[in-house]
Structure 1
């Protein structure tokens, strides 16, 4: 049974890898389930049995890329996020957030581009895009709430506005702008973002 489970998981990973390769090279709309199955060396019936729909496959690709694994653990329950929340140093929390965002975007950027492009013409993928944005907002609200228990926020900011600022600075669009369009290294973006978070959210020293 363990060997069978391992094989099933390996096959699922092969199908996800095949889908990502085709989605990023040909686009979501132009990629059929049959093409993904052929790329993975699997029967198309197996692909449908495993994921059900192409949208569900893309959704799982996005979830796994964000998490870095396929364990069903919510973002706020992941050890490094919990460690950032628990860190008593507010600046250290913000720098940890920038570091985590950089690591996530390095994994997820190609899939996010697929979702963003497909969302303009596909209502179901638009819904997936909006769900992803809503989930990011919920996570950020919790992180900023934790920050506000450690320090006063910058003068004039409440937690809602601070959440908006953090969402903007840590958005995938800003990451893509700097690292793809302007050619910044990911670690340079991380440092700039961490410095901006500290400057914009924490009181002057």
Structure 2
């Protein structure tokens, strides 16, 4: 009985935490970070504000955990470089590695790009969010560096491209700002962005013998005739 009760309580705690995060996401992405108060999040979640404070302590803590969950797609404490998609990309042939890492980025941004834009916008005036935004950039660069090193171990890169430069190129091409510009502002589909980004990285990083034949011109929907 005690074990069962403990399990029920744990499940309820997990469900309540998920409700709070969902409420925060809704308010952050519709109202913005600064105008959203802890009380507003608690009201949206149907919780007492004291419960929200007990669970997360601060609004920044909510945003930080929410970002981690949105990027991962789950609540498991597994780092990006330990995720199955990362292992599959590292094990793949060069052109396929690029395709897989771009596909992963497209899947992640479909979930998290609105939240990342909230953080990027608020970072201009909020020092804590500026730190969170910089941490996100650092983490994204580290992932791209691991992937670039894996790519360079399998094939010579395009002339003049080192592993470090390859990571920088991937960081720029796969930046959330680029995704937001093309998908949210210019009306591209996620698949069109994915195709473009794959072509761009393939041409930029692989030597001509490997990149030729693996790319095709990609146009946004408003350019198609």
The answer to whether structure 1 residue 27 and structure 2 residue 32 are counterparts is: yes
The answer to whether structure 1 residue 178 and structure 2 residue 161 are counterparts is: no
Q: Deviation at 1:25? A: 1.2
Alignment: residue pair count: 204
> Segments of 4+ in structure 1 off by > 2 A?
none
Alignment-derived partner of residue 94 in structure 2: 90
| Greater C-alpha radius of gyration | 2
TM-score (norm 1): 0.98
Per chain length, whose mean CA-contact separation is higher, i.e. which structure has more relative contact order (CA < 8 Å, sep 6+)? 1
Gap regions ≥5 residues in structure 2: 1-5, 210-225
Alignment-derived partner of residue 223 in structure 2: none
The answer to whether structure 1 residue 63 and structure 2 residue 86 are counterparts is: no
The answer to whether structure 1 residue 42 and structure 2 residue 47 are counterparts is: yes
Alignment-derived partner of residue 110 in structure 1: 114
Q: Deviation at 1:83? A: 1.2
> Over residues 19-54 of structure 1, what are the superposed CA-to-partner deviations in whole Å (9 max), with x where a residue is unaligned?
111111111111110110011000111111111100
Q: Deviation at 1:6? A: 1.1
Measured on the aligned residues, the alpha-carbon RMSD in Å equals 0.7
Gap regions ≥5 residues in structure 1: none
TM-score (norm 2): 0.89
Alignment-derived partner of residue 195 in structure 1: 199
Q: Deviation at 1:14? A: 0.3
